[in-house]
Chains A and B, each alone.
Chain A
Amino acid sequence: MLVYTAKRIVLAILVALTISMLVFSLLYLSGDPATALAGESATSDDIEKIRQAYGFDRPVWVQYLSWLGNAAQGEFGNSLYFRLPVWELILERLPTTMTLGVSAMTFAIVLSIPLGVLAAMFPNSLIDRTALFMAVVGQAMPSFWFALMLIVLFAFTWPVLPASGSDTWRHFVLPTIVLGYYATPAFMRLTRTGMLDVLSSDYIRTARAKGLRPWTVLFKHALRNAIIPVVSLAAVQFGFMLGGSVIIETVFALHGAGFLAWESISRSDFPTVQAILLLFSLLYIVLTFLADLLNAWLDPRIRVG
């Protein structure tokens, strides 16, 4: 287990470094950053001053290392738009995004795992078909369109929930449904196929031959094995959700980091965009790492050599 954990940590660090390079290079994606920063009416003198003030005149790898060193301390410089430290901006908005992410993930799991299990227990039954239908619809429907439909239905036709803002828990209901529903088809399908596979396995027959109760067979012997791929998927899906939060927070005007990312992109606020990208990527890496650990705990074949 120790060796396994150490390997995963090294891997996570390598991935994080790669991503940091990509994020750093974003700055150069739109051409010369000094020119972009200086604005349209700037003279070449102004641009040169900015180049020196921001250190853009140094070799790229020096710039990267100093940027990385600062980033490691949470220092991303000031937002070009707000003229405030980027980390302050993000810290203020991160709770909203995390609340949305966690509640959407919870919603997705609570909806899809029981449905997936039931669909596998009664293949081709009504419940299986309903679950399949939901999955197909969920995959076919663009999330912004789904969001607009929900807003029309529950904020205007029956005004039971607010359409925008992030002040109370009620503001989170519709965004949670949209963002969470988006992840359910994959969870449901994976749970269903996993359970079907496991339920027809020899060790389930053994468990039944021992006279174990259906409940024990299902939850102790089957689900634990079927859930292993779902755990890995959950980490990936959470990453997608963070990405999706950019759209969802914008549609619902939730003041989270996703919304901030959207605004900062349209304002060319590079330091802020970089910081959010890096943060989301790191979150994703940490979650993948945790999923690996959880899987190792669930599956002794990973954990015990």
Chain B
Amino acid sequence: MTEPAGFSLDVENLTVSIPLAAGTLRAVRGISFRVNQGETLCIVGESGCGKSLTSLALMGLLPAKAVRGADRLTLNGVDLTALSERQMSDVRGESMAMIFQEPMTSLNPAYTIGNQLEEALRRHRPVSRAEARERAIHLLEKVGITAAASRLQQYPHQLSGGLRQRVMIAMALMCGPDLLICDEPTTALDVTIQAQILHLLRDLQREFHMAIILITHDLGVVARMADRVAVMYAGEIVETGTAAEVFAAPSHPYTKGLLQCIPIPGRTKRGEHLGSIPGVVPSLIGEIAGCAFANRCPHAADACRSEPPARDLGPGRMVRCVLEPGAVPQMEPA
């Protein structure tokens, strides 16, 4: 197969399982997607559907007991599954960087901002401290931090949550990665700061030509940021497509449900139910027979007891449901 020119992340049939006393928790159940250079993929879904484990699996940062499987996991054509832990650490922070949901605790309290920024570059590049410092100041300015040079001497506890997240972004950009994974980067921040950070990410993406995987459970964030969307439910991707396609013609009953009870953008709090689709997510331990959404789906029928097919609706557009997309009626308002 010929690789298209430029950057891409290709994921095929990615799984993450965690052995537990009660059985194997199959948190990510075979998902496939692709992200191209300069593109933003939003992964959206309810709490616990496996978004964070997916991103940690890409970074090779899963908890020790979690097991990753994939038919294909390549970054710029490099097979990440074949890399040793040591080789993987060369990739992390260099061509693939990540920022997290918890800006308050994601920086080491014992070291200055400058120290933590500089080490991100010096780990991967043979540069002097002074050069690393230059780059750190440059990036702090880029992420909109004033008096950047004097911030380098400050410690994390001296900065607000919004500033810390900006520092995290600057840190992720130190080596100029091809891919930036953002796991709910604004969930812990208040609404005005959220908007600023999202705006900043968009600007930086244009400037650095990065690909971004943005994980969120906020459809408002998806609407503002996404080129492409992957809707996740119980460890599977149930629908993908461009943001325009998915918003204009949602094809999976779950996506429809999400869109119908879309909250005021930016107001979903962490852990809050996305909208109000009635019912609960099935247990992720062991196999799920048939469609995982069946117990909450208003269109569930006998046919849904067997594994629903992944329907190809065009290039990069997929829905996992037994129903023909055109045949899905609008869901009753909850």
Q: How far is the CA of A207 from the CA of B112 in the complex (A)?
A: 14
Roughly how many angstroms separate A206 CA and B59 CA in the complex, as a whole number? Answer: 11
Q: Which of B90, B110, B119, B171 contacts A300 (CB 8 A)?
A: B110
- In the complex, whether B49 has a CB less than 8 A from a CB of chain A is no
A83 proximal to B (CB < 8 A): no
Chain B count of residues within 8 A CB distance of the other chain: 30
Say if the beta carbon of A298 comes within 8 Å of chain B.
yes
A203 within 8 A of B: yes
Which residues 74-126 of B have a CB within 8 angstroms of A?
89-94, 97-98, 100, 102, 105-112, 119-120, 123-124
Partner of B89, one of A205, A212, A224, A301: A212
CA A224 – CA B91 in complex, angstroms?
A: 26
**What residues of A have a CB within 8 angstroms of the CB of B172 in the complex?**
209
Return chain B residues, CB-CB under 8 Å to A205. 61, 100, 106
* A299 contacts B109, C-beta separation under 8 Å: yes
B155 contacts which of A208, A221, A300 (Cβ < 8 Å)? A300
| A300 to B108 alpha-carbon distance, docked (Å) | 11
CB pair B110 A298 closer than 8 Å? yes
Task: Decide if B196 is an interface residue (CB 8 Å cutoff).
Answer: no
> Are the CB atoms of B108 and A213 closer together than 8 Å?
no
Which single residue of chain B is at the shortest CB-CB distance from A305? B158
A209–B93 contact, CB under 8 A?
yes
Contacts of A203-219 to chain B: CB distance below 8 A: 203, 205-214, 216
Closest CB of chain A to B103's CB: distance in Å? 9
The answer to whether A206 and B89 have CB atoms under 8 Å apart is: no
A208 touches B158 (CB 8 A): no
Query: How near does chain A come to B142, taking the closest CB pair, in angstroms?
Result: 18
A221 nearest in chain B by CB position: B108
Is A70 part of the contact surface with B, judged by Cβ < 8 Å? no
User: How many pairs of residues, A versus B, come closer than 8 Å at their CB atoms?
Assistant: 77
CA distance A208 to B91 in the complex (A): 11
Which A284-305 residues have a C-beta within 8 angstroms of B? 298-301, 304
Query: How far is the CB of A109 from the nearest CB of chain B, in Å?
Result: 20
Residue contact B108 to A211, C-beta cutoff 8 Å: no
Question: Which A-chain residue is minimally distant from B94 (CB atoms)?
Answer: A211
A136 to B43, CA, bound (A): 49
* A1 vs chain B, min Cβ distance (A): 13
Q: In the bound complex, what is the Cα–Cα distance between A95 and B106 (angstroms)?
A: 47
Chain B residue, CB-CB nearest to A207: B108
- Name the distance in Å between B94's Cβ and chain A's nearest Cβ: 6
A230 to chain B, nearest CB (A): 14
Asked if B157 is at the interface of the complex by the 8 Å CB criterion, the answer is yes
A222 to B, closest residue via Cβ? B108
- 0/1 interface trace, chain A 102-132, chain B, CB 8 Å (1 if under): 0000000000000000000000000000000
With A225-B109, A304-B158 as contacts: A206 and B92 at CB distance below 8 Å = no
Check: A201 CB closer than 8 A to any chain B CB. Answer: yes
Alpha-carbon separation in the docked complex, A81 to B168 (Å): 69
Contacting residues, chain B, for A203 (C-beta < 8 A):
105-109
User: Could you tell me which residues of chain A, from 181 to 233, have a CB within 8 Å of some CB in chain B?
Assistant: 201-203, 205-214, 216, 220-221, 224-225
CA distance A155 to B313 in the complex (A): 85
How near does chain A come to B167, taking the closest CB pair, in angstroms?
11
| Chain B residue at smallest Cβ distance from A298 | B110
Distance in Å: Cβ of A186 to nearest Cβ of chain B: 23
- Say whether B61 contacts A211, CB under 8 Å: no
- CA of A221 to CA of B94 in the docked complex: distance in angstroms? 19
Chain A residue numbers with a CB within 8 Å of B100 are 202, 205-206, 209
Q: Are A211 and B110 in contact (CB under 8 A)?
A: no
In the assembled complex, the Cα of A193 lies from the Cα of B151 at a distance in Å of 33
Are the CB atoms of A206 and B109 closer together than 8 Å?
Answer: no
Task: Name, among B97, B106, B108, B158, the residue most crowded by chain A CB atoms within 10 Å (CB to CB).
Answer: B108
| Least distance between A199 CB and chain B CB atoms (Å) | 10
- Chain B residue contacts of A220, Cβ below 8 A: 111
Asked whether, in the complex, the Cβ of B119 is within 8 Å of the Cβ of A210, the reply is: yes
A257: min CB distance to chain B, Å: 37
Smallest beta-carbon distance A301→chain B, Å? 5
Indicate if the CB atoms of A225 and B157 lie closer than 8 Å.
no
When the two chains form their complex, are residues A300 and B123 in contact, meaning their CB atoms are under 8 A apart? Answer: no
What residues on A are CB-neighbors of B59 within 8 Å? 209
Chain A residues contacting B105 (CB-CB under 8 Å) are 201-203
Residues of A within 8 A of B91 (CB): 211
> In the complex the two chains form, is A211's CB within 8 Å of B109's CB?
no
Within 8 A of A (CB), among B138-185: 155, 157-158, 168, 171-172
* In the bound complex, CA of A304 to CA of B155 (Å): 8
Q: Are A206 and B110 in contact (CB under 8 A)?
A: no
Distance from B123 Cβ to chain A, minimum over Cβ atoms (Å) = 6
Q: How far is the CB of B106 from chain A (nearest CB, A)?
A: 5
Other than the given A203-B107, A211-B93, 12 more pairs (CB < 8 A) read: A206-B106, A206-B168, A207-B108, A208-B89, A209-B98, A210-B97, A220-B111, A224-B110, A225-B108, A225-B109, A225-B110, A299-B109
Could you write out 5 A-B pairs with CB less than 8 Å apart? A203-B106, A208-B61, A210-B120, A301-B155, A304-B157
- The chain A residues found within 8 Å of chain B, CB to CB, are 201-203, 205-214, 216, 220-221, 224-225, 298-301, 304
Task: Give the 10 A-B CB pairs with smallest separation, nearest first.
Answer: A211-B93, A211-B92, A210-B93, A202-B105, A203-B108, A300-B155, A211-B89, A210-B120, A202-B106, A209-B98
